[in-house]
Each structure stands twice: as structure tokens, then as C-alpha cells.
Structure 1
């Protein structure tokens, strides 16, 4: 079929000037609002992170407050001094049980002995042992010139 054209009548453009202006306005609005929307979403994420950190800090404060309250009790302080520092009250005789080392030819300890916890040495004994070990170390050899 042949296309009939009416003389003097121009073909209608695909987009009218109103549609073009409307598309430009909508594109401008999207471009203008994209950055603030992205910032808003990022700030919401930061706020959630800060709230989580604040809740973690609040839990730590509660835990430390409970620990501080325990340290206010004189009986707890005495128990910690006895346990950690091996203190004894006046009139008491403190004992630290230390098993002797096995003689050189003795067989290995049994599984029962391995399952038992070893005696913990007080901190000052470890310090003194390290001083003795450093003092007993042989001197470094001097280079021959």
C-alpha cells in the first residue's frame, strides 16, 4: 500500500516539546535527588554501626561495674590475694605443693598424671628463675681477630 500524504500538512514529530521538557525535568530531578538519597542511606548505615558500638560499650560498662562491686567486698579481695599472690593471713602457714622431678631413668608418667593440672608457681618464683637462668647462661664467644 502506498502512503498517502496530505499536501500542506507536516508529519507529527515523535516527541512533542512538552514531552521533551517533561523528560528533561524528570531526569534533572533524578540527578538532583540521587546524591542526597545515597548520603541518606549511607548515614543510616553509620547510625546503625554507632548504635551497635554504643550497646557494646554499655555492656562493657555494666560488666566493669559488676567487677568493681565485687572488688569492694573485702572477702573477695582476700580470696584474690590468696589465689593470685599466695598471701596468707597472720598465724597461717602457707604451703605450696611441688612434686619433685622424676629421676633420670624413670618411665614416663601415666595418663592419670598427665590429666592432673600442674601446680602453678607464684609470679615471683618465675621471675627469680629467669634471673638465675640469665646469670647462668654461658658468655657469648668472642670473635678471633
Structure 2
């Protein structure tokens, strides 16, 4: 039986005829794929790079806008006065500044006793328990309803 299959497939292969035109066209298709594939890969890489650079440009433009806003804020004398009052605690002439330091009562002490005075070892090996659970679940003949009981 196998010998007859081999003869039939050999006869079928001998029956296939390629014309010169089909061989030339097949060669051109293979050559085209070999020429276009690296170019296409390069094109896709360049498109990804363009997207990354556009995102970087957008991020940089946002940073420039934020910095321009900060420059405009620091050019305003009222903003500078407000920052000096807030950050450096400056006051205008004739004003009195009151600074309250730690006006809250001390927090009550919590029991800071250690949880354990010695290191304790577990009583079971979790890795072998996990492996046993997988093997039991995979090799059982019971149904889900029987296992859930």
C-alpha cells in the first residue's frame, strides 16, 4: 500500500509542468519580496520614530508654555510679594506677624511592643502543597460538583 502511494505521488509530480513564463514570474515575485521587505521594514521603523519624535516635540512645547507662564508670573510684582509672604514669611512695614509653632497637644503614645521577639518558621512547605493541589486537580476523575462538597 505505501509503495502505491509513493508511485502515485511521483506520477503526480512528474505530471506538473511549469512554463518558462510561470518560472520567470515566480522569480520576479520572489525577487520583489526580497527587495520590498527590507524597505517596508525601514519605512515602518521610520514611522514609529516620527510618532515618538512628534510626542517628544509636544511634551517639550508644553514645558516651554509652562516655563513662559512662570516667567510671566515672576515678572508681576504682586506675585513676587505674595511668594515672599508665603515662602519666606515676610511682612510689609507696619504689619505684625504671628507664627504659631506646634499648637497641637502631643499625640498619645501607642503600644509599640514588638509583634514577636523571635523569628518563627512556617509549619508546612507551601511549594509542595501548591504542587500537590495542582496534581490533585489535574488527575482527579471526580466532577466539579463532587469536588465542591
Band of TM-score, shorter chain: 0.5 to 0.7
Deviation at residue 45 of structure 1 after TM alignment: 1.0
| Counterpart position of 1:102 | 105
**TM-score normalised by length of structure 1:** 0.59
Correspondence for 2:30? 27
What pairs up with 1:33-48 in 2 under 5 angstroms?
A: 33-48=36-51
What displacement does 1:12 show? 7.5
Counterpart of 1:54 (choices 54, 57, 60) is 57
Residue of structure 1 equivalent to 2:134: none
Query: How high is the TM-score relative to the length of structure 2?
Result: 0.57
Structure showing the higher helix proportion among its residues: 2
Matched pairs, number: 96
Between the aligned partners of 1:104 and 1:42, the Cα distance in structure 2 is 60
Can you give the 5+ residue segments of structure 1 that lack an aligned partner in the other structure?
A: 1-10, 106-145
- Residue 91 in 1 paired to residue 105 in 2? no
How many Å separate the matches in 2 of 1:99 and 1:14? 98
**Residue matched to 1:81:** 84
